[in-house]
Amino acid sequence: MDRVCPVRGCGAPLRKGHAMCRECWSRTSTFHRRNVSQRWRQVQNTPVAERLHAINRYRGALALAVSDSEMRR
């Protein structure tokens, strides 16, 4: 099953390793884009035993970015 952009009303297919399509990502504010990227780097740099908390913070940042992109649609 192909993954699609999580922004409501978009549905564009996602490239491997991407959380949103290019159009929705560029529509998201710089603050939210940086926050998502920073949280993802923290997930990558966190030891496996402590990774769940970092993943939850990343998911929260991504959810804010998705809602920001939906509001700008």
* Mean pLDDT of the 49-73 span: 92
Higher pLDDT, 38 or 72: 38
Which is more confidently placed, 72 or 14? Answer: 14
Residue 63 has pLDDT above 90, yes or no: yes
Separation in Å, CA 56 to CA 13, 36, 40, 60: 24, 12, 10, 6
Express each pLDDT in 2-46 by its tens digit.
799 999 999 899 999 899 999 999 999 999 999 999 999 999 999
